[in-house]
Amino acid sequence: MKKKGIRGMIEKLNEPNNFISGIYNYCDGWCERCSYTDRCLNYSSRDEYGFNNEDDEGTLDNTLDSVFEIFSDISAFLKEEAEKSGIDLNEEVDMSDYENAKEKAYSHPLTKKTYKYFQLVNDWFKSRKEIVTQQTDEFIKFAELGFDEEKIQSNVNEFQDAIEVIQWYYTLIRVKIIRALHTKFDKSYVDEEFTFEQVNTSAKIALVGCEKSLAAWKTLYEYLKEDEDKILTILAYLDKLIKSIKEEFPDVAEYKRPYFD
């Protein structure tokens, strides 16, 4: 599965390339929908571990094997480089600032709000599988009855896209908010410019995820009228979550990520 691993990634950097330095630090990780994959070292490096292999069945075991290889490679690489530089990786480091920031981030009211949104969405998908299936069947029925196929296909694409957007972001939002809060509270960061960028980048990804999810839920609302009360509840909660993110991170609305905003 693996080719040259971490060493292969470093070789890519030393070769003539069109990569945008650090672009992967600003994205939401949805490579399949990104227009910069051919300029992203992180995406290109997936070849080193078989993530982009079309012949790969994409099973959980294959994915876990690849992840294990990545961490094993990184660990070995860091040990080698540390030894060359005379760095003792076993030396104790004061992690109190990191741990305190972590505790504050996980217990923060905004984090709890993002988890509540996660629960709302997770419960909805678990209990509404039949409704989603019925809507899909309805599209098929309209097609069989001879309705405008182009229009029906457009509706199918819109419906499926909304589902995919919601499913992609409802876990990511919480992760990015925790990271933004953790960075904000971690006193070990002394570079104010770096901290500002890291905090607002993570918060921005969460905010954009919320805004795209809001639009996606509005789409589902138009199609799933029989479930409009539940969807309206989620829409109202998501709207409040967006406001809470902007209140906690006052600069996030105007902050622009390179290439993405």
Instruction: Compute the distance between CA of residue 241 and CA of residue 219 in angstroms, rounded to an integer.
Output: 19
Domain boundary among 62, 85, 108: 85
pTM: 0.83
d(CA 139, CA 52): 33
168: Cα within 13 Å, side-chain hemisphere: 22
Residue 91 falls inside a structural domain: no
Determine the Cα–Cα distance for residues 234 and 219; give it in Å rounded to an integer: 13
**What is the tens place of the pLDDT at every residue in 79-105?**
888 888 888 888 887 889 999 999 999
Please report whether residue 33 resides in a domain.
yes
At residue 211, the pLDDT reads: 98
Which tokens in the block code for residue 7?
A: 């060493």
Q: Domain total for the chain?
A: 2
Domain interval for residue 225: 96-248
Residues with Cβ within 8 Å of 19's Cβ and at least 6 positions away in sequence, in order, are 12, 13, 39, 40, 41, 44
Mean pLDDT of the chain: 85
Domain shared by 212 and 108, yes or no: yes
Interval 124-137: pLDDT, tens: 998 877 766 666 66
Band of the pLDDT at 54, cuts 50, 70, 90?
Answer: low
Of 89, 91, 92, 67, nearest in space to 78 by CA: 89
